[in-house]
Amino acid sequence: MNEHYKQLLARKYPNATSVLAEIVNLKAILSLPKGTEYFFSDLHGEHSAFLHMLNSASGTIRSKIDQRFGNALDETQREALATLIYQPEHTLRTLEQNGGLDEAWYRQTIFHLAEICRIASSKYTRSKVRKRLPPDFAYIIEELLYDDGSDNRSAYHEAIIRSMVETGMADTLIIGICNAIRRLSVDMLHIIGDIYDRGPRPDAILNELLHFSDIDIQWGNHDITWMGAAAGSPALIATVLRIGIRYNSFDLLETAYGINLRPLSTFASTVYADDPCEFFQLHVLDENKYDSISLALGAKMHKAISVIQFKLEGQLIARRPEFHMEHRDLLNRINFKTGEITLKSGIYPLQDTNFPTVDPDNPLALTPEEEALMKSLTASFIYSEPLNRHIRFLYSYGSMYKRFNGNLLYHGCIPLTEEGELETVELNGTRYQGRNWLDYIDAQTRLAYFGEPGSPQRQFAQDFVWYLWCGSKSPLFGKDQMTTFERYFVADKKTHKEHTNAYYKLIAQRETCEMLLREFELDPEKSRIINGHVPVKTKKGEHPKKGDGLLYIIDGGMAKAYQSKTGIGGYTLIFNSQHLALAIHKPYSPDVATPPSPTLEIVEEIHPRMRVADTDTGKDLSQRVEELKWLLAAYRRGELREHQI
């Protein structure tokens, strides 16, 4: 330890007694069971489904209720208690409307909630529990939690509850206990990418995640498009708008983030007035509540921003020959006289040849109207306070990958050759592969948002983030090409094919997973990889477990757009002190009063039980104990002066 750090430590623990007390405290914490970690992936804006999974701790809260009250309460009563914990405000309102609230109900319910809260808090210190209790009621809830079973204590608790009911504060107390149960049931939250796109309200998901301090996020390909758009990248602004409009996400764009789409709607309705935009119809998976736009106008807006996107992408490709994406400058491959396009696989007729804003002699040039439109849209993204609050959260709590408690977390893939070697990427004279490729990507993604405005470095970084969205060697994309243009304009489906990186085939082999873990300096005997990105087609017999249990892909189709392929409503991976388990969720519907509980599959038993001492946090605490031992010795040798607190 350096001298400055020693002095800081001595200020915090000014005498031998305070040092001893902290050593005892830390050693006690190290002996506690490890907290429960929850892993979610590919949320894709499905806020209702995600919040239900989070509030129910993916079914584990109901399991606690069944274990504690299986003999005391019937199925209906246990389900009612679980529903109260998941959504207390709504449940209390419903009960009040139905006349179901009286003192007997309050007394019984508060006792039941206190018991579940006691179970949920049993693996934590009182100090940690206190931090997760609502401040106004922390003292009262603590008194209810720590019951010695004596008659005096029971009478005391009865008096507390009676006073809360008489003063009209019982509802507030119940809401506080329910919130505490949910917070205590999830010790650490891992989001393995793709919060954005397809679903209606990623903003609502992020608003919920903002309340978590013990959280990390591994950026997904859909997340980085929004990160680049918020940084001001025109190509990515067009991309997120195209996807948002395609999936009818006008509530998100205009109401939640304040993106002014009026100029785009005016432009589209004028330029494509007589165009039915047949191949740009919207995918309406969710209805807008606040900002409804007709499907006909939506299709015109969809086509307008798509054409602008293809122009901006072509300009970027020309600007960055180092990306080697010349073959994806597709507007320059169109023969506007014959209505055909030349692709790598041949020449194909276009199914839509109406390009009123494209100059055949200079197809990548924006019209003056498109220039003005993009200037307006860019300002909306850059100056959207709620959007940038969420993006800064993604930067603060996010990264390309994370190593935590023996697990390696990343969203997409580590690009591999067909032979199973790490694929090499050469960029600006430097070669990257594996871990250092992800480190480089992480740094560039941050530079795109936080770099000096107007600097060449920031401009390159923003263009590079676009490459991460669709480049063949991007670990977030993981395919050879993105055939968005072909899906709109070419009828021949073989042109729509996107070939995945060899990674997705090779991870079935244990040797590949072992190599990847070693690349990130993790022990294959004790570690595993957890990622998402590619939906697991459960209904076709696919399983998240790969590489003999060294890798789990946990994209199970939380997004409604994927559920026809997966057959389920998503996965949660749960890692507690005793096992690793998959919660397999059924498709969620907010119209169902009591959503079905997930199926729990234990995929790995942990023996002996994992303690805090076995975790990364435990290593830090053990290091702190050693530092405190040095400080204690220094006090006892008289090298440091002791002070009374």
Transcribe 394-449 into DSSP letters.
HHHHEESEEEETTEEEESS---B-TTSPBPPEEETTEEE-HHHHHHHHHHHHHHHH
Q: Dihedral sign, CA of 130, 136, 139, 143?
A: negative
Give the pLDDT of residue 230.
98
Distance CA 435, CA 519 (A): 7
Q: Mean pLDDT throughout 238-253?
A: 96
Inter-residue contact 420 to 502 (CB < 8 Å): yes
Residue 421 CB contacts under 8 Å (≥ 6 apart), including other chains: none
Least confident of 465-479, 612-626, 631-645: 631-645
Q: Are 35 and 124 in contact (CB under 8 A)?
A: yes
Q: Name the band, by pLDDT with cuts 50, 70 and 90, for residue 159.
A: confident
φ, ψ dihedrals at 240, nearest 5°: -70, -30
Summarize the confidence of residues 220-238 as an average pLDDT: 98
Beta-carbon contacts of 393 under 8 Å, excluding residues fewer than 6 positions away, are: 206, 209, 210
pLDDT band at 97 (very low <50, low <70, confident <90, very high): confident
List the beta bridge partners of residue 144. Answer: none
Q: Assign residue 309 a region: left if phi > 0, alpha if psi is -120 to 50, beta otherwise?
A: alpha
Please state, in angstroms and rounded to a whole number, the distance separating the CA atoms of residues 332 and 36.
Answer: 53
The whole-number pLDDT of residue 503 equals: 97
In the chain, the amino acid numbered 552 is Y
**The pLDDT of residue 584 is above 90:** yes
Residue 594 clears pLDDT 80, i.e. is over it: no
Q: CA–CA distance from 383 to each of 201, 514, 585 (Å)?
A: 20, 45, 38
Residue with tokens 């998976």: 285
- Provide the 3-class DSSP secondary structure of residue 87: coil
Q: Which residues pair with 41 in a beta bridge?
A: none
How deeply is 226 buried, as exposed, middle or buried, from its count of CB atoms within 10 A (0-12, 13-18, 19+)?
buried
* SS3 label, residue 299: helix
- Please give the structure tokens belonging to residue 265: 């709607």
Backbone angles phi, psi at 583, to 5 degrees: -95, 120
Give the distance from CA 616 to its chain's centroid.
22
Residues 6+ apart with CB under 8 A from 352: 278, 279, 488, 489
> In this structure, which amino acid lies at residue 61?
I
CA angle 571, 411, 448 (to 5 degrees): 140
Can you give the pLDDT at residue 167?
85
Q: Which residues pair with 430 in a beta bridge?
A: 427
When pLDDT is averaged across residues 272-288 and rounded to a whole number, the result is: 93
Please report, rounded to a whole number, the percentage of residues in the chain having pLDDT higher than 70: 98
Average pLDDT taken over every residue of the chain: 93
Most confident among 71-75, 159-163, 405-409 (mean pLDDT): 405-409
Helix 16-30 vs helix 616-636: angle between axes, to the nearest 10 degrees? 160
Lookup result for tokens 């696989």: 345
147 confidence band (pLDDT: 50, 70, 90)? low
Specify the DSSP class assigned to residue 359. B
**Range of weakest confidence among 7-16, 133-142, 192-201, 403-412:** 133-142
| Whole-angstrom distance, CA of residue 467 vs CA of residue 412 | 15
Torsion angle of C-alpha atoms 233, 238, 239, 241, degrees rounded to 10: 120
Return the ∠ at Cα 537 (arms to 531 and 539), rounded to 5°: 140
CB atoms within 10 A of CB 202: 28
Going from the C-alpha of 283 to that of each of 219, 457, 489, 560, the distances in angstroms are 25, 37, 17, 11
* pLDDT of the residue at 148: 61
Kindly state the average pLDDT of the residues 135-139: 83
CA distance 172 to 178: 10
Judge whether residue 452 has pLDDT over 80.
yes
Task: Describe the crossing of helices 234-246 and 456-470 by its angle, rounded to 10 degrees.
Answer: 30
Tokens 């590949």 locate to 512
Instruction: From 27, 25, 174, 200, select the one nearest 91 (Cα to Cα).
Output: 174
Cα dihedral angle (48, 578, 541, 408), rounded to 10 degrees? 80
Residue type, 402: K
The candidate with the shortest Cα–Cα distance to 185, out of 68, 62, 30, is 62
Reported as a single tens digit per residue, the pLDDT across 535-561 is 999 989 999 999 999 999 999 889 888
Sign of the torsion formed by the C-alpha atoms of 563, 567, 569 and 570: negative
Q: Considering only CA atoms, give the Rg of the chain.
A: 28
